[in-house]
Amino acid sequence: LLAKTYTQRAEAHTNAAAVRLLRLMDAKKTNLSVAADVTTKKELLHLADALGPYICVFKTHIDIVTDFDQDLVDQLEKLAEKHSFLIFEDRKFADIGNTVKLQYSAGVYRIASWSHITNAHPLPGEGIVKGLAEVGMPLSRGLLLLAEMSSQGSLATGSYTLEAVRMAQRNRDFVFGFIGQQRMDVPEDFVYLTPGVGLEAKGDGLGQQYRTPEQVILDSGCDVIIVGRGIYGSGDIAANAQRYREAGWNAYLKRTGQL
Ligand code: UP6
């Protein structure tokens, strides 16, 4: 699996979002996702347009945007088309199936209507996947389960992580991968998106822990690096994004024997 290209691996997936993601990564030569943790519509759209050419996935926390409106969604969708990236609302659902179904489809944000990918904690049990799937599957959306977290002292370890993997194995039509820190030793081809990536900082004083793109892609066998403050924290955002893109892509080329 590790030696296969993203495009080759797309064949093993039935989920539409997963297939699109794997193909566009090779087409755009990027396994970089930006974590756009900004609090205004203007900043969010600026990041999407300026970083669009370098990324495969634009990750949002839509509930931190103070002036959210439908026009933001419309513009974000246009930018996703223009630059060909997928939108991932990092909602981290964590409630019973019936509640997450409503949180995903309704409310102010109507996440399912615009976000190609979202994620959920396996904590409540399998009902969370079933509830989200009722909304997401008809819209060709994809779900990631949080198998592990990057933060210090995370409780998502050991048997919890293994149960997350089993839950994903039972729901492969909708769950195509994980938020995690390392590839799990299972026969199914899951896609791993990994936060906690930084080339300089080791942490942020609030529990975040950083590893390098090479550690994530090459040593741990993950697929997508998620970078936030490493890109927009200081300096030129496009230059920073290019650095992370190159580091992530070279690690992938090494892993697949293309470099
Ligand atoms: N994130 C983590 N760790 C996890 C899961 N998600 O950091 O285990 C998310 C955060 C943030 C981004 O919610 O949006 O990834 C990391 O941002 P940073 O690169 O600025 O630390």
Supply angle C-alpha 98, 61, 40, rounded to 5: 135
Q: Which amino acid is present at 247?
A: A
The answer to whether the beta carbons of residues 62 and 87 sit under 8 Å apart is: no
Name every protein residue with a CB atom under 6 angstroms from any ligand 1 atom.
Answer: 35, 37, 61, 90, 149-151, 179, 195-196, 208, 226-230
Supply angle C-alpha 121, 141, 94, rounded to 5: 15
ipTM higher than the 0.85 cut: yes
The answer to whether the beta carbons of residues 210 and 244 sit under 8 Å apart is: no
- What spacing in Å lies between the alpha carbon of 208 and ligand 1's midpoint? 8
pTM: 0.98
Tokens of 84: 């060909």
Nearest ligand 1 atom to alpha carbon 59: 14
Sign for the pseudo-dihedral over CA of 213, 156, 192, 86 = negative
What string of pLDDT tens digits covers the 259 residues of the chain? 899 999 999 999 999 999 999 999 999 999 999 999 999 999 999 999 999 999 999 999 999 999 999 999 999 999 999 999 999 999 999 999 999 999 999 999 999 999 999 999 999 999 999 999 999 999 999 999 999 999 999 999 999 999 999 999 999 999 999 999 999 999 999 999 999 999 999 999 999 999 999 999 999 999 999 999 999 999 999 999 999 999 999 999 999 999 8
Write down the catalytic residue from 78, 82, 92, 130. 92
H/E run at residue 193 = strand 191-194
